[in-house]
């Protein structure tokens, strides 16, 4: 694939949004392009709750990656609000990249997303990304590239990548950059996201809590950072207090585990990720609360930041 390189002194910048069914590798791709973990990854549908912006810096371009929640047919008020968030994002970006894994056949869900994107953002450049190419052989990759090309039409380019292995990630950066308007950088060099630290912390705690749990929990879990303060006896350490909200007592029991063992594991996993991002040691206090049916209650949704 030949990619048009910018001319001497020409700089391009703009916004790109990855779309696709749950678990198609959107967040993993965001992290691979940024070069650091800023979006949570999970095999659970609707893991992403906020439009986290990752910032990709290159000599010739700056790409701002908007990692939206997956577009879906909503069943709750939370689901409706997440969809509204997605719609707003689609109309504001320069490029929309549809992610479809190499190891899964194109299905009704993919066609529905393309239809929604075309309705909501008819003038936005659409690009195909075949993800997880490390999971299949070359003939299968070629077959999927053709299928995605037929789905999107001849005007849309399709790029195969493996975010996990770092294959063709730079090619994708160049292809997206070539579609951006000329213009200055939006963010200073070295800045990787414009998300508040509290939001990133809350998302990393959610990711750790969702690891290996049953299907019922993902939609019902919200995390709020209550307080961040320097630890009195250790000035180079932060005290972070977080509340994990669930909808039912049975879910609280799942999160806490036998004699608190599971919550301790969640704390250990989340603490390592948060320390890596903040570059400082933290002491993480986790508490689990039941907020009955919060996904359907406008007042509780506001309180939890939705």
* 37 annotated as belonging to a binding site for a ligand: no
3 state SS of 158 = strand
Q: For residues 157 and 129, is the Cβ–Cβ distance under 8 A?
A: no
* 84 annotated as belonging to a binding site for a ligand: no
Find the farthest-apart pair of alpha carbons in the chain and give their distance in angstroms, rounded.
Answer: 63
What is the Cα 200 distance to its own chain's centre? 11
Which residues, 6+ apart, have CB-to-CB distance to 155 below 8 Å? none
What pLDDT does 200 receive? 77
What pLDDT does 152 receive? 95
* 41 annotated as belonging to a binding site for a ligand: no
Which residues, 6+ apart, have CB-to-CB distance to 29 below 8 Å? 18, 99, 129, 131, 161, 163, 169, 172
Give the C-alpha separation, 288 to 245, whole Å: 6
pLDDT tens across the length of the chain (306 residues): 545 554 555 899 999 988 888 788 888 888 889 887 656 554 444 444 445 568 899 999 999 888 665 555 656 666 666 666 667 777 788 999 999 999 999 999 899 889 988 988 888 999 999 999 999 999 999 999 999 999 999 899 999 999 989 999 999 999 999 999 999 888 877 776 666 677 778 888 888 888 866 555 656 788 888 888 888 777 778 888 898 998 888 888 888 888 889 899 999 999 988 887 777 888 899 999 988 877 777 777 777 666
Give the C-alpha separation, 59 to 62, whole Å: 8
* 134 annotated as belonging to a binding site for a ligand: yes
What pLDDT does 168 receive? 94
Q: For residues 208 and 234, is the Cβ–Cβ distance under 8 A?
A: no
Q: Token pair for residue 173?
A: 């950066």
* 28 annotated as belonging to a binding site for a ligand: no
Q: For residues 157 and 131, is the Cβ–Cβ distance under 8 A?
A: no
What pLDDT does 133 receive? 96
* 23 annotated as belonging to a binding site for a ligand: yes
* 131 annotated as belonging to a binding site for a ligand: yes
* 51 annotated as belonging to a binding site for a ligand: no
Q: Which of 64, 306, 53 shows the shortest CA–CA distance to 195?
A: 53
* 69 annotated as belonging to a binding site for a ligand: yes
Q: Count the Cβ atoms, other than its own, within 10 Å of residue 202.
A: 25
3 state SS of 97 = strand
* 272 annotated as belonging to a binding site for a ligand: no
Q: For residues 291 and 247, is the Cβ–Cβ distance under 8 A?
A: yes
What pLDDT does 306 receive? 63
* 94 annotated as belonging to a binding site for a ligand: no
Give the C-alpha separation, 66 to 69, whole Å: 10
Give the C-alpha separation, 201 to 195, whole Å: 10
3 state SS of 28 = helix
**Strands 52-57 and 61-67: what pairing?**
antiparallel
* 21 annotated as belonging to a binding site for a ligand: yes
* 67 annotated as belonging to a binding site for a ligand: yes
Q: For residues 167 and 2, is the Cβ–Cβ distance under 8 A?
A: no
């Amino acid at each position: 694939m030949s990619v048009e390189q910018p001319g001497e002194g020409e700089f391009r910048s703009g916004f790109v949004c990855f779309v696709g069914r749950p678990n198609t590798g959107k967040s993993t791709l965001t992290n691979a392009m940024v070069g650091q973990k800023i979006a949570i990854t999970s095999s659970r549908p609707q893991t992403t709750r906020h439009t986290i912006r990752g910032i990709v810096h290159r000599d010739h371009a700056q790409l701002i990656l908007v990692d939206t929640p997956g577009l879906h047919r909503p069943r709750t008020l939370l689901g409706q609000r997440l969809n509204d968030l997605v719609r707003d994002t689609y109309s504001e970006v320069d490029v929309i990249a549809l992610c479809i894994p190499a190891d899964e056949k194109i299905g009704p869900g993919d066609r529905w997303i393309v239809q929604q994107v075309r309705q909501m953002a008819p003038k936005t450049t659409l690009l195909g990304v075949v993800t997880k190419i490390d999971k299949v052989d070359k003939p299968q990759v070629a077959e999927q590239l053709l299928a995605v090309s037929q789905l999107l039409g001849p005007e849309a380019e399709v790029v195969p990548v493996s975010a996990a292995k770092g294959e063709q990630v730079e090619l994708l950066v160049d292809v997206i950059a070539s579609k951006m308007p000329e213009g200055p950088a939006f963010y200073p060099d070295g800045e990787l996201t414009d998300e508040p630290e509290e939001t990133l912390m809350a998302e990393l705690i959610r990711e750790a809590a969702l690891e290996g749990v049953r299907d019922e929990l993902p939609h019902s879990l919200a995390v709020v950072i209550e307080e961040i303060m320097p630890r009195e006896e250790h000035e180079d350490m932060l005290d972070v207090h977080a509340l994990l909200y669930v909808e039912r007592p049975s879910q609280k029991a799942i999160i806490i585990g036998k004699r608190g063992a599971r919550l301790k594991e969640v704390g250990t996993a989340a603490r390592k990720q948060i320390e890596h991002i903040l570059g400082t040691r933290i002491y993480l206090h986790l508490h689990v609360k039941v907020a009955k049916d919060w996904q359907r209650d406008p007042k509780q949704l506001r309180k939890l930041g939705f």
